[in-house]
Amino acid sequence: MLPSAWSFLKRHKRKFIFTGAVVGGMYFLGKYAQRKMREIQEREASEYISQARRQFHFESNQRTCNMTVLSMLPTLKEAIIHQLNSESLTALLKTKPGNKLEIWEDLKIISFTRSVVAVYSTCMLVVLLRVQLNIIGGYLYLDNSVGKSSASSLAPPDVQQQYLSSIQHLLGDGLIELMTVVKRAVQDTLGEVSLKQSLSLLELEQQLSWIRAQVEGCSLLDGGSGARRPLTWYMMADEEDTLADQACGLTQNDVLTIKLLNETRDMLESPDFNTVLNTCLDRGFSRLLDNLAEFFRPPPGDAAAPRSLSAVSLPLAKIVPIINGQINTVCSETPSHFVQDLLMIEQVKEFAANVYESFSSAQQLQK
């Protein structure tokens, strides 16, 4: 029996070797495939967890953005009212002075100026903070994900504070310059319009459009060069000013802060940012007109009143107090329709996500 079996094995040796090689190869191939599959599953799970962690961090960062905007609106409102104080003029009118008409003319210009400035500056505050806090948020995510120490952190707390304090330009020098430009545009547009002249809501919208066109298309004399300054100029100080402030000597934190500021300027100069800012401005002025429209509606139950708002007109003298009070709605720290509209604009959310994605990616570590 054994010799015959041995003879059978010898005759079919090659077949057995081939079969064994195939079976063995399939076994090891199967093991290799299982190991690779396990590695792929583990990598996918790790990437899913990382994406979920990043998404959670991003959403938390957006809530911080919203809260920061709301917390800064009272400061913005106070700065505007301080520089464009219409309350002193209304108090003066109550004393029945001899130059009553002159005071009314000043009140007209200041009332429109501060409401227009309020719309511009609130929109700027929303989009600028979205950029700044998402840049910081992206770097904080990288610091946490790779376990960087405070010494090697991309955005240490002192740098964050120094960087975010640059928002003071928008609340200070930038705001004052914006007021100057807007006031000039209001004077050119409404200066010759009589207080007795009646305006419909459509005509009022046209007046605001003319003011916007002049503000956004104006050329300011910059050292006699006549160079045009974009709206972003009111939001951040010039790079030369930043460097001049640090002329005494740069610390490591100063270098990191300047790096963040330059990255922010790059974002502000991008076409996407300008698109988002213009979208916010369009929505902001549209909401302002919606608020004004409430005062053009006839009393309830007035059957003789015209049904179309375009047919309702009010004397400019009556419109002035209405628009003068709009700053309380535009710069409201409680979530008003105006602020909520700006915070919920889809283009703002998408842009914020793109900024965060850019600064929370692994490529930033390599830079």
At 78 the pLDDT is: 95
Share of the chain above pLDDT 90, in %: 50
Task: For residues 175 and 235, give the distance between their C-alpha atoms in angstroms, rounded to a whole number.
Answer: 8
At 222 the pLDDT is: 44
Task: For residues 287 and 344, give the distance between their C-alpha atoms in angstroms, rounded to a whole number.
Answer: 13
Residue 282 has pLDDT above 70, yes or no: yes
Q: Pick the residue with more confidence: 10 or 214?
A: 214
At 355 the pLDDT is: 93
Q: Please give the structure tokens belonging to residue 139.
A: 């770097």
Instruction: Calculate mean pLDDT across residues 186-190.
Output: 95
At 151 the pLDDT is: 56
Residue 46 pLDDT grade (very low, low, confident, very high; cuts 50, 70, 90): very low
At 279 the pLDDT is: 95
Residue 357 has pLDDT above 60, yes or no: yes
Task: For residues 204 and 30, give the distance between their C-alpha atoms in angstroms, rounded to a whole number.
Answer: 76
- Strand locations in 211-272 (E): none
Q: Cα-flanking dihedrals φ and ψ of residue 200, to 5°?
A: -85, 170
At 210 the pLDDT is: 95
CA angle 197, 109, 117 (to 5 degrees): 125
At 278 the pLDDT is: 95
Matching residue, tokens 């502000």: 268
Per-residue pLDDT of 190-241, as tens digits, reads 999 999 999 999 999 999 999 999 999 864 444 444 456 789 999 998 765 5
At 45 the pLDDT is: 46
At 48 the pLDDT is: 44
At 240 the pLDDT is: 52
Per-residue pLDDT of 109-168, as tens digits, reads 999 999 999 999 999 999 999 999 999 988 888 877 765 555 567 788 888 899 999 999
Residue 273 has pLDDT above 80, yes or no: yes
Rounded to whole angstroms, the maximal C-alpha distance in the chain is: 136
Around Cβ 79, how many Cβ atoms within 10 Å? 19
Residue 57 pLDDT grade (very low, low, confident, very high; cuts 50, 70, 90): confident
At 125 the pLDDT is: 96
At 147 the pLDDT is: 57
Spell out the residues 6+ positions from residue 320 whose beta carbon is closer than 8 angstroms to its own. 104, 107, 108, 111, 112, 195
At 39 the pLDDT is: 56
Average pLDDT of the chain is 82
Residue 84 has pLDDT above 60, yes or no: yes
Please say whether the beta carbons of 364 and 143 come within 8 A.
Answer: no
Least confident of 37-51, 73-87, 258-272, 321-335: 37-51
